[in-house]
Amino acid sequence: MSGLLVEHTLGLAQLQDRGRFGVRHIGVTQGGALDWVAAHWANHLLGNSPDCAVMEIPLGGLTLRCEQDSTLAITGADLAATLDGIPVYAWQSFAVQRGQQLTFNPPLSGVRGYLAAPGGFAAPQVLGSRSTVGREKLGGFGGEGQPLRPGDRLEFAGDVRPLVRVPEALLPDYSRPAVLELLPGSRLAGFSGRSLFDAFNRPWQVDPRADRMGVRLRGPVLRYQGASLVSEGIPLGAIQVPPDGQPIILLNDRQTIGGYPCIGTLTPESVARLAQCPVGAYLTFRAIGVEQAQRQHLELLNQFGAPLMPYRVEHLSFR
């Protein structure tokens, strides 16, 4: 018997884990949860390994039918989730019973919610990962890169786990304007002085042309004046500047090489924050050094070791 039956979807929800590594030399991209921080917390709430597959739910529009008693966990965007019409809030685990309907609605804040199940959702491992990459037809439910569709039945262990929530002090605030930290790249000196000033002192707006491959930004035109480039490897969070001068931040489903100049690369934490920026949102860049970025990253990883907070059912309205 499956754990969850997909009844309705916008066609965007899909299974993701930490991503596919060690294969970029053959042209296969990384994949994985865009907001890896929220995905990690979702697994942590259930005592899962960070490698377990979770459900990434962009923009809501998803209805699931529970087919066994269990405990699930939601993190990430506030998708106004309900269980048989009763609100279930993010950043905590919650009990479900067979026959109940779990619904995710348009986001109140953020973009992508994450749903975890005990032991992770079952799916074939393809090149070492269950992550869905539609362009390459890899991973996900069925192993061929398909998003979740009505009628799909998702299996998981079904164990009942304690009801816990993430400490309030560690919850992100997606309603605040995003400040994305950027490690300057080796091509930075090839941009005009005015462009460098604008890049770090002017706001940028998320363009509608945004998906799991990358996010285009709208703002001041950045002018590259350096020499022509040979295509090179593209890391997660690389900020390419094409000839129109409008940056593109490359994400998990990016191509593996490219020839546009890069002003730098976002830190992993900033990539996760960008994943929760809706179309039209404004953001700014802030330069950061390697040592400071490494220190902040270790501090974030240490937060995952913080004790989770038990709660009772009458406290279900916790935000």
293: confidence class by pLDDT, cuts 50, 70, 90: very high
Dump pLDDT digits (tens) for 165-199: 999 999 999 999 999 999 999 899 999 999 999 99
pLDDT attached to residue 316 = 46
pLDDT attached to residue 213 = 97
* 82-83 and 101-104 beta bridge pairing: antiparallel
What's this model's pTM, rounded to 2 decimal places?
A: 0.95
State the Cα–Cα distance between residues 33 and 53, nearest whole angstrom: 9
Domain positions in the chain: 4-171+306-315, 178-288
Whether residue 319 is predicted with pLDDT greater than 60 in this model: the reply is: no
318: confidence class by pLDDT, cuts 50, 70, 90: very low
Mean pLDDT computed over 295-313 = 92
Mean pLDDT computed over 105-109 = 97
73: confidence class by pLDDT, cuts 50, 70, 90: very high
pLDDT attached to residue 91 = 98
1: confidence class by pLDDT, cuts 50, 70, 90: low
State the Cα–Cα distance between residues 183 and 235, nearest whole angstrom: 12
Span 178-288: which CATH code?
Answer: 2.40.100.10
pLDDT attached to residue 139 = 97
Mean pLDDT computed over 208-234 = 95
What is the separation of C-alpha 24 from the centre of its chain, rounded to a whole number of angstroms?
20
* 309-310 and 248-250 beta bridge pairing: unpaired
Neighbours of 220 (CB within 10 A): 18
Q: What percent of the chain has pLDDT over 90?
A: 93
Whether residue 313 is predicted with pLDDT greater than 80 in this model: the reply is: no
Whether residue 314 is predicted with pLDDT greater than 70 in this model: the reply is: no
Mean pLDDT computed over 18-31 = 94
Mean pLDDT computed over 70-94 = 97
Whether residue 317 is predicted with pLDDT greater than 60 in this model: the reply is: no
Q: What percent of the chain has pLDDT over 70?
A: 97
Mean pLDDT computed over 198-203 = 97
Q: Which pairs count as long-range contacts for 191-198, CB under 8 Å and 24+ apart, including other chains?
A: 191/222, 191/223, 191/224, 191/225, 191/226, 191/241, 191/261, 191/263, 192/223, 192/225, 194/223, 195/220, 195/221, 195/222, 195/223, 195/224, 195/245, 198/222
Whether residue 156 is predicted with pLDDT greater than 90 in this model: the reply is: yes
pLDDT attached to residue 158 = 77
pLDDT attached to residue 159 = 86
